Structure 1
Amino acid sequence: MNEELLYKIWQGKKILELPLTTQSGESIQILNAGSRNLYSGPDFLEAKIRLDNTEWQGSVEIHVKASDWNLHKHQTDQAYLNVILHVVWENDQDIFDEIGYKIPCLCLKKFIANPNDFISNSNSSFICLQLLADVPFKYLEVMKENCLQKRLAEKTSGVQKLWESNQKNWEETLYQTLAKAMGFQQNAEPMLRLAQSIPLSLIYKYRDSNLRIQALFFGMADLIELFPEKHLIEKLQNEFNFLKIKHQLSDNFINKSHWKYFKLRPHNYPNIRIFELGKLLQNNVNLLSFFLDIQELKSLKIFFEVHSKNKSKPFGEQAFKSILLNAIIPILLLYGKHKGNMSYEKRAMDWLNQLKPEEHFIDKEFTKIGFPPKNAADSQAFIFWWKNYCQLERCLQCEVGKFLFSKS
């Protein structure tokens, strides 16, 4: 037995047919297996299960032996505090998280005699693969357009909540959204919390002092010792100690254990992106006006390259796409909606169509079936299509599936 095999069992459909229980006797219903995490932290994120009559949403960690939890030192890692289920093959030890909570355990060996019976033999992620040749192209196009609109609505919904929590302050919302996007997938949430811990007004107050702005960001991030310019670390610590007392800041808002470095290239390390965020905010007081006024996509990319720490290797294509897709475009769409100005939506859609495809594994799956993405708009549509229809087998709600069922 190995963990890769356990991952496949957990993600498979056959496990849903079993009457599962935890080691403590609670019934388990898997509502959503979650998405595979390829970076540091728990194996599956955003999973949803029901234990007896209570629904839980969080992460799932998978090991061959339960004792591997302690062997890998998860018990001292705060990134594992939101684990809602420990899935193991052998339960050789009760496991507790950092604060002493006993984590519910599912021992698969009790329910599965032959693991290979619980792994799909299909090489395709699409149930309808053998029937796609009979589907008129227009149904694929309609479904793609529907999914793009839902994907963009999903993104703007998150920004809308931030905007409301910020008392409808657009500048503060842009600042926090931009910070989250600069954390990329691995560090998005701690970057958002970092921005929320430092009001934009405080950054404006000290915009004439790069040292104080960086002291605020690195001090609140608990990463002063990783400041890129090593000769300034002592000064940075002294400045943060002063600012913390003066502005009554809490220096335990974020812990250094929240930041992820595993499988990241050095220029994407959180300490580098935090440094760049500080420089960007210091040099550009009215970012909202700038993003609303700029028309050319290439000009926008040059703007971010100017604020890159590593000038020999500035913001790459993927990094730029992430910031555009997760911050600037949602802000443009939401701002245009509230101001009744359709020109912002048009510009956002134009930029989406100008960007190259994202080239993630979902793009590759759609390419295999002869429906390759032409641009980033298609990539975004495919993400929503895949996660909300194909993975959940919601064929009756999919335009392609409805056509096939009506034909049969």
Structure 2
Amino acid sequence: MTDNELFLLILMLVMGLPWLIWRLLGDADHAPLVVVQIVVGVLLGPGVLGAAAPALHAQIFPPVAITMLNGIALWAVMLFVWLAGIELDLGAAWAARRDSWTASGLALLTPLALGSAAGWLILINPGWIGPKGEPWQAILGIGMACAVTALPILMLLMDRLAILRTPLGQRVLRYASLDDIAIWAVLAIILLDWSRMERQLGFICVFPVVAWAVRMAMRRLAQPERLRASMVWLAAAGLAADWAGLHFMVGAFLAGVILDQSWFDGAALDRLRDMLLLTVMPIFFLSTGLRTSWSIGSVDLIAVAALLLAASVGGKLIGLRIAGHLLRWRRGEASVIGWLLQTKALIMIIFVNILLDRQVVSSGSFTALLLMALASTMLTTPMARRGLRRLTALEEPSDPPVRPPLSAAAPRPPS
């Protein structure tokens, strides 16, 4: 079989198998297609297919095929992170700054603290930290992975729940957007490379000037040309960030943040996101699954994933409950928002892939975090839908008590 034929065979598996399983399940709430695609990637990886049929796995996924898949996955995920950066609405966050900072801060810091504590417990045992990772980097990375919210997937799920354009949905997007900034800022801190400090300082100093020039140029371009120019800007920002040692994903996010969403056709950006999810993001999910490892042991991995899931879910719910009390939200709102912000599948996987690339965490930690992300994302829609039903029921006025007519005489007690 030629390399081209092998690559097309892999594409058939990547595109066809998850979709077929998703249709057979028949319940998009409990198993979103994105989650099924990631699960299929794990099943086709070395931990399952590679263990059950190592010869077949080696034949289907030779190094040359992996190299081609990784190249497509790299560009696809850069585009997705760039779109997430564009979707940040800092103006709306500033207009409602007390609500925004309180809610987003507690939604981030509480699971970050619990996740970091869980990470400290996990790293007591050998095999969970990467060969080039310092303990503080691995602990902070695991904690932030528990605090991440996947903004693009969150938008898709809220659209399915019919709340994306509602005031509640816009508030949730605002909280998730502010947390996205913190996620990439923390990643930049974790990835600080003292041997490249001069390059990193140069990037930090030069980027604002270049970003200002890009913004001036974008304003002068016609709307259709802005999207084409953005592709060049995205590649350049990713290259500069990677050269500086900050990772190309940090550059991709910054490339989107400095652009105003109003400069683009919103429908075109939505179509681009949908096409990415349809055509190339499944390849990223497969490449992620191919990196999973079960060498530590299935029982230990599941136990660690359960601990991380408890820290992530509990942290979000506790943090939003405190925010709801401080901001005097309606009864039931904190629970709904807390469950919506559990969505992790995409951005967290990108985040942890970077930590694995830089050998901050081990492949075992990566696998446990991936299992946690899948479980958290699968819980989001059914739990949020249940909370929305309760919230709607609380808003409906109850029937007033029935009173007897004024002319009716009250019965006299017996004498």
TM-score, normalization by structure 1: 0.27
The structure in which a higher percent of residues are helix is: 2
Q: TM-score, normalised by structure 2?
A: 0.27
Higher relative contact order (CA 8 A, sep 6+): 2
